[in-house]
Structure 1
């Protein structure tokens, strides 16, 4: 059965084989169809992705050629094994398939959020970890992005970050603070203005007994915010710092990190 992967480099997996096209615009068409699996993508949307607001006169014919090339790739797998097809359906094309890693990610993420809301923290952490494990790097990593795919990528990356934040919160609830500290240090370096991640680092350092490092992590955040945005940390983060100073085990971080 063919599986379409977009959470990393584009892959079209048929067993051990990767059937992904190499031509940049053909890859872009396939990526847009895969991200909208089982939904029609209009020709206007595909034109916008491939040529922005300047489609050539031959755009319709060229797009038909790209779709033909994709159909030939799928046809190289026996129909009973591939269970997918690209159909022409007004006002455009539809990739009919049940196997995309993006859809699987969204399903696992929603299951994790539901488990979290129900108080099943261990199960939620595991389900969210499974969702994040589907990512093989940067989404659509090997595709020249037009405006449509750029929006899709931004949306996926934002969802991934929110799932990651919730998984970290679940692990923290389970008392895994010591294990979280290296990961959180890396994340705050990557997402310098994300106060939620900074707050979780401060809280995990405090919970692990590193009071001085927790206070330094707060000062690092304060310096970044003042330098880059001219802002102070939110009141919740300021209360968290006060709790660290006083040796308290309050709940400021819980309010700030409430997710899902």
Structure 2
């Protein structure tokens, strides 16, 4: 049995996919999955599901939800009930490799470690495997509770970090032409992340598109001045000067 939270919440067992259709039960299972192997207290569950306005019989209702979730998960794995009572609440006990977010973290760590020691091909493979686990917006319909919201914020920031490191690794192994299209999409979606603009400039220059690379700098400089009243960062300025000089030996393969 595998829990997947890098997208909508679902449980898989081989080729079979299971979902929870009751919204509050789904929110409860999402909180348990996010905190897998750690206790989620009854108070935390109340806040996650009802915020500041829990019903009078919230504790009894939570026990009912837990019972129903156990029945659902029991249909997936009849030999093991992963939701365990542990004071002051409950814990979702899962095995190694049974949560996509844990697998994502493992690949991300492998990719960063490989990049730092110059194994760029290995880094690219690991980081792209991490990103391939994403199926959409993290627990998008279940936002609003502190447990899920905190996790979703962390996950999205880590995903963007993996994208950036993956691009750097691909630039180091000469995949600049393949990156141009995806990087244009990234700067349109995340216009204030200067690293993506720098990577696009570098990919364009290495693809013999010097004029396009210079246009990227002009656009990001105008955008930052208009939106924030700031100039581009040093890395962007230095790359811009090197491209202006058209000295390929002074333009790094990646930053």
Q: How far apart in 1 are the matches of 2:119 and 2:74?
A: 44
Q: How far apart in 2 are the matches of 1:62 and 1:119?
A: 54
Q: Cα offset for 1:57? A: 2.2
Per mean C-alpha deviation after superposition, the further-off stretch among 187-196 and 35-44 is: 35-44
1:135: which partner in 2? 134
1:91 aligns with 2:95: no
Structure 2 gap ranges (5+): none
Q: How far apart in 1 are the matches of 2:76 and 2:188?
A: 45
1:70: which partner in 2? 69
Per mean C-alpha deviation after superposition, the further-off stretch among 184-193 and 44-53 is: 44-53
1:177: which partner in 2? 176
Contact 2:202 2:254 (8 Å CA) reproduced: no
Distance 1:253 1:149, change over 3 A: farther
Q: Cα offset for 1:252? A: 7.1
CA RMSD of aligned residues (A): 1.6
1:12 aligns with 2:38: no
Distance 1:177 1:84, change over 3 A: farther
Q: Cα offset for 1:15? A: 2.4
After the TM superposition, list the runs of 4 or more consecutive aligned residues in structure 1 that deviate by more than 4 angstroms: 251-255
User: What SS class does the counterpart of residue 79 from structure 1 fall into?
Assistant: coil
Distance 1:207 1:252, change over 3 A: closer
Q: Cα offset for 1:148? A: 2.3
Mapping of residues 1-260 of structure 1, within 5 Å: 2-80=1-79, 83=80, 85-98=82-95, 99-249=98-248, 250=250, 254-255=254-255
Contact 2:74 2:81 (8 Å CA) reproduced: no
Contact 1:48 1:148 (8 Å CA) reproduced: no
* TM-score normalised by length of structure 2: 0.94
Per mean C-alpha deviation after superposition, the further-off stretch among 53-62 and 28-37 is: 53-62
Q: Would you say how many aligned residue pairs link Structure 1 and Structure 2? A: 252
User: What SS class does the counterpart of residue 149 from structure 1 fall into?
Assistant: helix
Contact 1:237 1:252 (8 Å CA) reproduced: no
Distance 1:144 1:117, change over 3 A: closer
Distance 1:53 1:8, change over 3 A: same
Contact 1:6 1:139 (8 Å CA) reproduced: yes
Contact 1:4 1:12 (8 Å CA) reproduced: yes
Q: Cα offset for 1:79? A: 3.1
Structure 1 gap ranges (5+): 256-260
Contact 1:236 1:252 (8 Å CA) reproduced: no
* TM-score normalised by length of structure 1: 0.92
Q: Cα offset for 1:219? A: 0.7
Q: How far apart in 1 are the matches of 2:118 and 2:34?
A: 32
Q: Cα offset for 1:236? A: 1.9
